[in-house]
Structure 1
Amino acid sequence: MNTVMDRAEIVLWVRHANGRWSARTVWVVVVDGEAYVRSAFGWRSAWYRRVLMHADTEVEVAGVRLSVALQPVDDPELVQRVSGAYWAKYGLSWPGPVESMNGREAAATTMRLTNVGQVSQLPA
């Protein structure tokens, strides 16, 4: 099966106020069967700020773009578990970037991908 949650990274498309779309490759991790992403640059990332303003958002996997929603996570225990998932998935290959992704600023941007059920089965 080829799902969003099986991927090392996904392309997140976010619509600008003027209707233009921009793409950003992000790492995706899974905790308790749900997918999570973070902004590596915290609040400084324009895509993250647009998502918080309810911009249309899509994910692209295997050449397929589908609408999703991102929901901010404010539960500290869940944020810690997501940090653990980043270490488990990426830590051996990318310890420096993972340290950054688990830093205070980036961890504060943890978001759950919702409506992922709609994108669960994608072509290889």
Structure 2
Amino acid sequence: MAGNPLRHVGDEQEIIIGFQRPDGSWGSTPVWDVQVGDDIFVRSMTGAKGGWYRRLLDNPDGEVRHGEHVHPVHAEAVSDSKTVAAVTEAYETKYAGSPYLPPFFGKDSENATLRLAPR
């Protein structure tokens, strides 16, 4: 989407993703993010088992924090193979050389890809 107010988030090495727990309380965790075009994506390195990922699937309205900035977001599951491949390539490029990168490339992780849209 042109003019996506989240575009600058793609420059961050790590963001904090906020989510609502089943009991209504809020939690957060640091995650890696990538930008493809104007869109921002996150991926659970543990696939569907990731707690933050499951909570955003249950209630897709969350938030992204970096520095002093807080952005309300809506998480959308991504299943389009072309988009998933582009996200994988973006992870390879942005985090090249990190010893923590390999888990982001398994099928479980690829299937746990979310697009973050502003809300």
User: What is the TM-score of this pair, normalised by structure 2?
Assistant: 0.87
SS of alignment partner, residue 17 of structure 1: coil
Alignment-derived partner of residue 66 in structure 2: 61
> Residues 74-120 of structure 1: CA distance to partner in whole angstroms, max 9, x if unpaired?
1011101110000000012x1x42211111111111111101xx7xx
Percent sequence identity is 31
SS of alignment partner, residue 24 of structure 1: strand
Gaps of 5+ in 2: 1-6
Segments ≥4 residues shifted beyond 2 Å: 63-66
2:112 to 103, 109, 112: 109
Alignment-derived partner of residue 122 in structure 1: none
2:78 to 55, 67, 73: 73
2:44 to 30, 35, 39: 39
> Residues 24-73 of structure 1: CA distance to partner in whole angstroms, max 9, x if unpaired?
10101011121110011111111111111125311111133231011111
Gaps of 5+ in 1: 119-124
**In structure 1, how many angstroms separate the alpha carbons of the residues matched to 2:90 and 2:69?**
25
Q: What amino acid is the match of 2:111?
A: A
Aligned-residue RMSD, C-alpha: 1.6
Instruction: Give the conservation status (yes or no) of the 8 Å contact 2:60–2:76.
Output: no
User: What is the TM-score of this pair, normalised by structure 1?
Assistant: 0.84
Q: What amino acid is the match of 1:100?
A: P
**In structure 2, how many angstroms separate the alpha carbons of the residues matched to 1:56 and 1:82?**
21
Number of residues of Structure 1 aligned to a counterpart in Structure 2: 113
